[in-house]
């Protein structure tokens, strides 16, 4: 696993400084900087993100009605373009610290790095392992009748399409919540799953409607589909 640190450049991308659809810590940390926003032991997020958390790290760009916007600059009420429902307002934003791990005599944050153009992203995309990503797959269409499977970022690692990296110090995730689960455009074209507001889940249940209308493939199935697609060159960035 590579140990990397990042510095901002250009229009919000990360730069490596040092290597080392439907059917279906209270410990002190070093500080790193992304786009001139410093995160370390002094930040006070709402809560701590568990290893299975979803969300986007700072400087990840999301497609809003104001253009591509870094996730930390999005506000409640901002309109975000979604894959199925067009422009939708953000209902809630939750900011969480990622659980850091102790490695090499320092605390580090583990994320998955998806290289550019793997899932429609125009720049390297950094995600927590549990974050679901939408793909376009001929194999999935043949197997399930749906060309748009949703898989966790970790499944891309297991299929050798992404890698785990360690960031020096502590980091955060920003979760965008909508009235219902949505697929949103990030990093120039990647499509990522977001869940509905937690407080509205009971209301959906009372109406007999599931708030989680998208199914995420289990890891074994996802890895099998991804590897089959790679072998047959049938995996595409969604279009």
What is the pLDDT tens value at each position of the chain, 239 positions in all? 543 333 322 233 322 222 223 333 333 323 223 333 333 322 222 344 444 578 999 999 999 999 999 999 999 999 999 999 999 999 999 998 877 777 767 777 889 999 999 999 999 999 999 999 999 998 999 998 999 999 999 999 999 999 998 877 777 899 999 999 999 999 999 999 997 765 444 444 444 444 568 889 999 999 999 999 888 765 555 55
CB 23 within 8 A of CB 144: yes
C-alpha to C-alpha distances, 24 to 1, 146, 194, 222, 235, nearest whole angstrom? 32, 8, 16, 12, 18
The reported pTM is 0.72
Residue 126 β-bridge partners = 113
């Amino acid at each position: 696993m590579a140990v990397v640190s990042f510095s901002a450049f250009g229009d919000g991308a990360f730069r490596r400084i040092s290597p080392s659809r439907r059917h279906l810590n209270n410990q002190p940390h070093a500080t790193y900087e992304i786009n001139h926003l410093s995160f370390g032991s002094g930040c006070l997020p709402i809560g701590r993100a568990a290893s299975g958390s979803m969300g986007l790290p700072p400087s990840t760009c999301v497609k809003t009605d104001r253009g591509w916007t870094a996730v930390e600059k999005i506000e409640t009420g901002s309109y975000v373009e979604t894959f199925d429902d067009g422009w939708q307002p953000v209902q809630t934003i939750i900011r969480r610290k990622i659980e850091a791990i102790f490695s090499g005599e320092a605390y580090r944050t583990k994320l998955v790095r998806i290289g550019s153009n793997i899932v429609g992203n125009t720049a390297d995309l950094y995600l927590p392992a549990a974050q679901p990503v939408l793909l376009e797959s001929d194999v999935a269409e043949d197997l399930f009748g749906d060309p748009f499977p949703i898989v966790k970022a970790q499944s891309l690692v297991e299929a050798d399409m992404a890698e785990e990296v360690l960031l020096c110090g502590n980091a955060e995730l920003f979760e965008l919540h909508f009235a219902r689960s949505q697929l949103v455009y990030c990093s120039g074209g990647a499509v990522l799953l977001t869940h509905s507001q937690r407080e509205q889940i009971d209301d959906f249940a009372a109406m007999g409607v599931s708030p989680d209308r998208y199914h995420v493939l289990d890891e074994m199935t996802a890895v099998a589909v991804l590897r089959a697609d790679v072998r047959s060159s049938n995996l595409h960035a969604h279009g």
